[in-house]
Amino acid sequence: MILILCRRIILALTLSLMISCEASARDVYVRLSGSGSYSIGITQGMLVMTDSEGRLANLGDSAAIKVSGNNAVIMGNSFMLPIRITGEGFLKFNGKTYRGAFLITQRGGLLNVLDVEQYLCGVLPAEVGASWPDEALRAQAISARTYVLRQSMNRYEKGYDVVDTDSDQVYKGAGIETAKTNQAVASTAGEILTYGKELAHTYFHSDSGGHTADISDVWGGNIPYLTGVPEVVSYKSPVSTWNARISASKIQNAIKKITGTDIGNITEIQVSEVDDGGRAVNMKFIGSKGTKTIKASQFRTTIDPRTLKSTMFTPSGGAFSVKNDLTPSGLVSKKSGQNASSSSSTGLTFEEEQGIAQMTAEGIFTSTELVDMLTNPDKKKNYYQIGLGRSTRTTKQKAPVETAKPRSKYGYSIEKSGNDFIFYGRGWGHGVGLCQWGAMAMAEQGYTAERILTHYYPGTSVRKFR
């Protein structure tokens, strides 16, 4: 029986960690390699192989597999692809250990097939710090689970759901699991993020630099819950500030690759348009043969997203700061110790502060209003009343849609030094969706996973998918 396209239950493996990853009823197909020959092994017992014709073979504790056309040659024998490899212990490939099974597809790719909850146990410690607060880990688990299930809806024709790199989300198998991250997976088992009746698109990144991005400015399209939102808690990450020196010739080649046009020697680069959070949207490149305006996100990915860590450029660097943290619902302020009946420095009672936080999570306020509230705390009393009016209308309508985003025509130039340009910036990643360092900071201030997620994906809800 051919097993490649069916979504089966993988039998739970015996785990050695204190917290186990319980098996559920949904498999994930993770591409570990696109094609080629593979050396695989097992931590205990023997490798057992089944090919597409139902032929069984014991491969011992290791095997060299050479893919040739529609066949795999193993120990001098030829087997028809696809083939599935299992065993009692953890499987081994390329220095890593894996749960579940290996599948070599008809195209010659190597996949790891395992239960979604087991898969997440190999994602969390690769994506975030295992020592991070529990609620930040829980938020990451829900976001990562939703992401892979959403991707599986789009990748069926490719024969896999996700790759194991940050092109999707980083997955390093069983060898990096920890009891704490496994507990975060177990405690959220089956929980996903939805918008209405649909799975949400739960993109995430490392550090927003102070404000997340609108998906329309990064990849295009319009998804209501993937609009830019400000960070509500100040934090400092390893990439809170950075700079990158890039040669003019490399930039010239990048522009030619994007536009198909050679604009000659680059003489000036301007950040010509930013969003309401200060992130670059468009950049103007002035050369000896012409001028081109290019989307900042496209320029970043063409240059190298590890060199240009984000599009949150700054004229001279500097970390962001939040002037007034929004207090999480149901908590006593850790800074003041005030209770619900006392007044804050903004003139709001703690109950009203709670209301502001709840309205923010529900998407009552626009991004512009949130920025205004954070930078001008004395206005929060007025915004509280505005929010009450919106949330109590019979139509239950939320904040008005901002049809025209506020844009600043900065026109500031990127610093030039000899034949190089020096970019200063904040944060790391595309900026869309959940900010991992921001989530950590929110969790440290007492926010729950659900509140963290509804902040970064306003209008969504956490639900069980089974």
3-state secondary structure labels for all residues of the chain: CCCCCCCCCCCCCCCCCCCCCCCCCCEEEEEEECCCEEEEEECCCCEEEECCCCCEEEEECEEEEEEECCEEEECCEEEECCEEEECCCCEEECCEEECCEEEECCCCCEEEEEEHHHHHHCCHHHHCCCCCCHHHHHHHHHHHHHHHHHHHHHCHHHCCCEECCCCCCCCCCHHHCCHHHHHHHHHCCCEEEEECCEECCCCEECECCCECECHHHHCCCCCCCCCCCECCCCCCCCCCCEEEEEEHHHHHHHHHHHHCCCCCCEEEEEEEEECCCCCEEEEEEEECCEEEEEEHHHHHHHHCCCCCCCCCEECCCCCCCCCCCCCCCCCCCCCCCCCCCCECCCCCEHHHHHHHHHHHHCCCCCHHHHHHHHHCHHHHHHHHHHHHHHHCCCCCCCCCCCCCCCCECCCEECEEECCEEEEEECCECCCECEEHHHHHHHHHCCCCHHHHHHHHCCCCEEEECC
Report the C-alpha gap between 375 and 389 in whole angstroms. Answer: 22
Quick check: is 453 in a domain?
no
What pLDDT band is residue 10 in, cutting at 50, 70 and 90?
very low
Quick check: is 79 in a domain?
yes
Quick check: is 267 in a domain?
no
pLDDT 10s digits, 176-235: 999 999 999 999 999 999 999 899 999 999 999 999 999 999 999 999 999 999 999 999
pLDDT 10s digits, 403-437: 344 444 555 889 999 999 999 999 999 999 999 99
What pLDDT band is residue 154 in, cutting at 50, 70 and 90?
confident
Domain hosting 102: range is 27-189
85-102 mean pLDDT: 96
Quick check: is 448 in a domain?
no
pLDDT 10s digits, 288-299: 999 999 999 999
Supply the pLDDT for residue 323: 56
Supply the pLDDT for residue 341: 34
Q: How far is CA 114 from the centre of its chain?
A: 21
Supply the pLDDT for residue 17: 33
* Residue 50 CB partners (closer than 8 Å, separation 6+): 3, 56, 83, 84
327-344 mean pLDDT: 35
Supply the pLDDT for residue 231: 95
Quick check: is 158 in a domain?
yes
Higher pLDDT, 158 or 144: 144
In the chain, how many domains are there? Answer: 1
Quick check: is 313 in a domain?
no
Quick check: is 49 in a domain?
yes
pLDDT 10s digits, 101-151: 999 999 899 999 999 999 999 999 999 988 999 999 999 999 999 999 999
The Cα-based distances of 31 to 4, 111, 114, 353, 448 in angstroms read 13, 4, 12, 46, 33
Quick check: is 391 in a domain?
no
Supply the pLDDT for residue 42: 96
Q: How far is CA 276 from the centre of its chain?
A: 22
> How many percent of the chain have pLDDT more than 70?
79
